[in-house]
Amino acid sequence: MTMMQYRTVPKNGDKLSALGFGAMRLPTRRMSIDEERATKQIRSAIDAGVNYIDTAVPYHGGESERFLGRCLQDGYRQKVKLATKLPPQNVNTREDMDRILGIQLKKLKTDHIDYYLLHGIEGSQWKRLHDLGVLDFLDTAKADGRIRNAGFSFHGDRKAFKEIIDAYDWTFCQIQYNYLDETNQAGTEGLQYAASKNVAVMVMEPLRGGMLAGKLPAAVQQVYDKSPLKRSPAEWALRWVWNHPEVTVVLSGMNDENHIAENIRVCQTAFPNAMSDAELATIADVVAAYRGLVPVGCTGCAYCMPCPFGVNIPMCFSMYNDYHIGANRILTRGMYGAMLMGGVMPARADASLCKQCGKCAKACPQHIAIPDELAKVNRTLGGLRTKILMPVVRMMFPKEVKE
């Protein structure tokens, strides 16, 4: 019988399953978590060797943590390392941090969180939390045992990522990483930087919100069809992430029994540096096929940043490109609203802020006509169809953390 693959956290020696269970897309029934089915899924994944469970306040409108508290009864809590996150949008004072952690411990029916993250920080959100005393909070919570390890999840640019890595003795971080995000956000450079500082890296969005699994654009599927290896697109994408020795846990937001079984099967043999040159060449061809389909050839290098008017240029282009190459369009609009139009992040950074000053375009090695392209992004993603989604987006990130 093959066994679950475990990878070691450099700073504490924990052996974590290379596949982590993300509790953000659990099976639902009549708009609520299908508790019976989700409990069976999570417990059977733990029985198969998964020992890292990741949740957060906003998942399932605040219900994911509460559900996990119940799901991990009957001895399952002791079998896993539990990760949850401090929601920056709900933190306005140093006291809020203790209050929210207290609520999370109650909801999760536990006396400690094994892996505690600052949720989804980037440059400005990090600075705000830092000034409110978040490092003192983490030190105190570690010292009194409420949390065991501190980390952060991240959606900003590489410069901000390195600054945050250098600012504290983090045990781990969590980044978006997949074969289309090598130069986007933290990217491969960030992954390697974290690893060089002995910071474990948990990977989220290995399938880019499902975009790299299921039905792919024809030009991309043709590349996979040429390979003698008959694998699902999801297996290819996951194997690529696990191929990186710097990656500790790959989080998958699972809700389908067949997908869970497939992920566990793939994880058992997807060791670091296990992919052959031919397999890596297939992935390189897949990336090239995607690049041929995107409307803006932005590599996410961020040389154009910062924009004096606050536009997050690479993120605008990344979402605009996703919109055109098979991502779920409503979800992409929702993300654009949440991340860039002030839905969740404190400052707006969307394409409508562009004043056409032209400063960024001079710095772009890809010679992208950035202001013109941003005008198109704004027309596509910044319009009424996104604005009417904003109340839903805000509802998903409640103002209050309730018990």
Tell me if residue 136 falls in helix, strand or coil: helix
Q: How many residues bind ligand SF4 (CB under 6 A)?
A: 28
State the residue for tokens 């839905």. 343
26 binds ligand SF4 (CB under 6 A): no
314 binds ligand SF4 (CB under 6 A): yes
291 binds ligand SF4 (CB under 6 A): no
Q: How far is the CB of 294 from ligand SF4 (least distance, A)?
A: 11
267 binds ligand SF4 (CB under 6 A): no
309 binds ligand SF4 (CB under 6 A): yes
Tell me if residue 298 falls in helix, strand or coil: coil
Pick 150 or 296: Cβ nearer ligand SF4:
296
**Of 270, 354, 377, 381, which lies in the binding site for ligand SF4, with binding defined by CB under 6 A?**
354
186 binds ligand SF4 (CB under 6 A): no
357 binds ligand SF4 (CB under 6 A): yes
Nearest partner of 54 among 103, 106, 17, 4, judged by Cα: 17
Angular region, 143: left φ>0, alpha ψ -120 to 50, beta rest: alpha
311 binds ligand SF4 (CB under 6 A): yes
300 binds ligand SF4 (CB under 6 A): yes
Pick 15 or 362: Cβ nearer ligand SF4:
362
**Of 214, 245, 358, 383, which lies in the binding site for ligand SF4, with binding defined by CB under 6 A?**
358
Q: How far apart are CA 73 and CA 331, in angstroms?
A: 33
Determine the longest span between alpha carbons in the chain, in angstroms. 62
Nearest partner of 281 among 228, 211, 215, 212, judged by Cα: 228
**Of 39, 371, 382, 393, which lies in the binding site for ligand SF4, with binding defined by CB under 6 A?**
371
Nearest partner of 117 among 81, 72, 87, judged by Cα: 87
**Of 356, 372, 383, 391, which lies in the binding site for ligand SF4, with binding defined by CB under 6 A?**
356
Q: How far apart are CA 82 and CA 52, in angstroms?
A: 6
Contact indicator for 115, 83 with CB cutoff of 8 Å: yes
**Of 141, 275, 370, 377, which lies in the binding site for ligand SF4, with binding defined by CB under 6 A?**
370
Pick 12 or 356: Cβ nearer ligand SF4:
356
**Of 303, 383, 385, 392, which lies in the binding site for ligand SF4, with binding defined by CB under 6 A?**
303
**Of 232, 268, 299, 352, which lies in the binding site for ligand SF4, with binding defined by CB under 6 A?**
299
Nearest partner of 4 among 202, 260, 279, judged by Cα: 260
Pick 16 or 381: Cβ nearer ligand SF4:
381
381 binds ligand SF4 (CB under 6 A): no
Q: How far apart are CA 93 and CA 4, in angstroms?
A: 42
> Which one of the spans 12-20, 260-268, 308-316, 325-333 is the region binding ligand SF4 (CB under 6 A)?
308-316
123 binds ligand SF4 (CB under 6 A): no
**H helices within 91-248, ranges in order?**
94-107, 123-132, 134-143, 158-166, 187-196, 218-226, 233-242
What does 340-398 look like in DSSP terms, one character per residue? Answer: HSSSSSSS---GGG-----HHHHH-TT---HHHHHHHHHHHHSSHHHHTTHHHHHHHS-
360 binds ligand SF4 (CB under 6 A): yes
Q: CB within 8 A of 31, min separation 6: which ones?
A: none
Pick 292 or 358: Cβ nearer ligand SF4:
358
* Residues between 223 and 262 that touch ligand SF4 (CB under 6 A): none
Q: Which residues form the interface with ligand SF4 (CB under 6 A)? A: 298-304, 307-309, 311, 313-314, 317, 354-360, 363-364, 366, 368, 370-371, 374
